[in-house]
């Protein structure tokens, strides 16, 4: 028996990286998992097949997180196929880093649209179903940069700080309907980008972290899985930092 048996989850940006790890963790815990991807169809379909071989249920939906219409269509399709929606993980996001003086308006808007507006789009689309069920878990993936700020990431930090404010506000709005809304703030996570760093660069990065290492994607996914479970029923409006102690 899994801790998420008989639940249905939707993960945005679930085709790679942290999102993929979340999809796998929720599916392994017993949830039927739908996830969105923007353009890379092959990896998304491969993930669905890999999980199916293990007897786990996943569905991939191509969608643009910026589109309010796409968000409503995806949520409606998930509810139509599975009958309900219990867990929403807002994970989709991008970066377009640069110093403010050189940052274009397009780069500012693209990051806010993909990272923050997408959370609005999917939460609004999903909350009607959850309200009628009088139950649900919404987990938003923010970042420690939304708490600490970071030079060269004004757009990214603003979007992630916005997610924190949104999380706390919606937790207050939906609490009376038995819907918990929380955020997870990862620190530095091992990705394809960090794999390209030299050993010296990796060591310098680790030196900033009290635990002296970066996170694995599955360590972020484990916290999401906990927040999605019944064990976290009395937790709402919180930001859980999974950062090796960086924001202490």
pLDDT at 193: 58
Nearest by Cα to 17 from 177, 117, 143, 131:
143
> Six-digit token pair at 232?
């976290």
Which member of 37, 156, 188, 234 is catalytic? 156
Per cent of the chain over pLDDT 90 is: 91
d(CA 227, CA 223) in angstroms, rounded, equals 6
pLDDT at 196: 67
Distances (CA, A) of 119 to 1, 5, 12, 191, 221: 31, 25, 9, 23, 18
**pLDDT tens-digit map of 1-14:** 799 999 999 999 99
Task: Sketch out the chain's domains with CATH numbers.
Answer: 8-239 (3.40.50.720)
d(CA 145, CA 187) in angstroms, rounded, equals 8
Distances (CA, A) of 228 to 101, 135, 198: 40, 11, 36
**pLDDT tens-digit map of 184-240:** 999 999 876 567 677 887 888 889 999 999 999 999 999 999 999 999 999 999 999
More confident residue, 243 or 191: 243
> What is the average per-residue pLDDT within 119-142?
97
156 in active site: yes
pTM above 0.85, yes or no: yes
Residue with tokens 């600490």: 148
More confident residue, 195 or 30: 30
Q: Name the 3-class secondary structure at 113.
A: helix
């Amino acid at each position: 028996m899994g801790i998420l048996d008989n639940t249905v989850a939707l993960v945005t940006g679930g085709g790679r990286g942290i999102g993929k790890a979340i999809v796998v963790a929720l599916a392994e815990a017993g949830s039927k998992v739908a996830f969105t991807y923007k353009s890379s169809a092959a990896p998304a379909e491969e993930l669905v097949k890999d999980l199916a071989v293990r007897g786990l249920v996943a569905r991939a939906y191509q969608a643009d997180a910026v589109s309010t219409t796409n968000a409503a269509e995806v949520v409606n399709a998930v509810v139509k196929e599975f009958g309900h929606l219990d867990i929403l993980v807002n994970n989709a996001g991008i970066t377009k880093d640069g110093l403010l003086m050189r940052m274009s308006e397009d780069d500012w808007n693209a990051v806010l649209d993909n990272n923050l507006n997408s959370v609005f789009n999917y939460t609004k689309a999903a909350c009607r179903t959850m309200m009628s069920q009088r139950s649900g878990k919404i987990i938003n993936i923010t970042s420690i940069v939304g708490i600490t700020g970071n030079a060269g990431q004004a757009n990214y930090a603003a979007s992630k700080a916005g997610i924190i404010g949104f999380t706390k506000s919606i937790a207050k709005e939906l609490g009376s309907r038995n819907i918990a809304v929380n955020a997870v703030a990862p620190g530095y996570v091992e990705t394809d980008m960090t794999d390209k760093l030299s050993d010296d660069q990796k060591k310098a990065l680790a030196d900033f972290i009290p635990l002296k290492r970066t996170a694995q994607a599955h360590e972020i996914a484990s916290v999401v899985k906990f927040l999605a479970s019944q064990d976290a029923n009395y937790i709402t409006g919180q930001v859980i930092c999974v950062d090796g102690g960086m924001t202490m």
